[in-house]
Amino acid sequence: MSDRLDRALLGIDEPSPVRIVNPNGRSPFLLIGDHAGNLVPRALEPFGVTSPDLERHIGWDIGIATLGETLATTLDATFIAQRYSRLVVDCNRAPDAEDAMPAVSDGTPIPANASLDAEGRAARLAAIHTPYQAAIAAELARRDAAREDAVLVALHSFTPVMRGFARPWQIGVLHGGGDEAYARRVLLALEARGDLVVGDNQPYAMDTIDFTIPHHAFAAGRRYVETEIRQDLLETEAQIHEWADLLVTVLTAAL
């Protein structure tokens, strides 16, 4: 059933939902990008969302694809990135979550999601959500079998203004559940710099909404951290490289 749904949604010439950068990286860090792409499968066109909207924060996490690539190179780490828009299916949501395929996102209607039936949901999950999560699980299983360390680092970015409210944080650290010790050390290291406005579970908290980190890290007792960087600070390659350098220092020191 899953294979049939997969073929029905993605053409054989369309990109895989999973992009793995530096698959042989020797670092303990496993970088993940749930919202690193904003593609829409041809089978879902017309999706009803304009190209400018897909380029906005509702379509993906701006800057994260390049940040993840840069960190993968600098840290010699593996980066598992998801290529399709979070409006098609949000891979940081449980498969049965209503907002995994939202009818409205930050006030913008998503016509292709408004009347989505069970078969349509299942097709998106089979083609995108399941293989992405399976790729993460497979890499963790490989490391476990080889007795290699694994520290999950989820990379996200957030819009500077949401529903009319400015968000002052430059970077947020999310934690809450499982082995929080590593995430808290990252938070302390960022705060200790003294030159950043750091959010402790801000602008989002790791609660029942998040899926990827809880799913792969909590029960297994894995070290993890989820970071959120404000998108206006990731607009240029120079800014992205600055954040990459900062994160390399902080993530490594927190080990």
How far is the C-alpha of 207 from the C-alpha of 167, rounded, in Å? 19
For residue range 75-112, list pLDDT tens digits in order.
999 999 999 999 999 999 999 999 999 999 999 999 99
What residues make up the domain containing 221?
A: 2-254
What does pTM read for this prediction? Answer: 0.95
Given a cut of 80, whether residue 6 has pLDDT beyond it is: no
Q: How many domains does the chain have?
A: 1
Q: Domain holding 182: CATH number?
A: 3.40.630.40
pLDDT per residue as tens digits for the range 126-164: 999 999 999 999 999 999 999 999 999 999 999 999 888
Secondary structure (H, E, C), the chain: CHHHHHHHHCCCCCCCCEEEECCCCCCCEEEEECCCCCECCHHHCCCCCCHHHHHCCCCCCCCHHHHHHHHHHHHCCEEEEECECCCCCCCCCCCCCHHHCCCEECCEECHHHHCCCHHHHHHHHHHHHHHHHHHHHHHHHHHHHCCCCCEEEEEEEECCEECCEECCCCEEEECCCCECHHHHHHHHHHHHHCCCCEEECCCCCCCCCCCHHHHHHHCCCCEEEEEEEEHHHCCCHHHHHHHHHHHHHHHHHHC
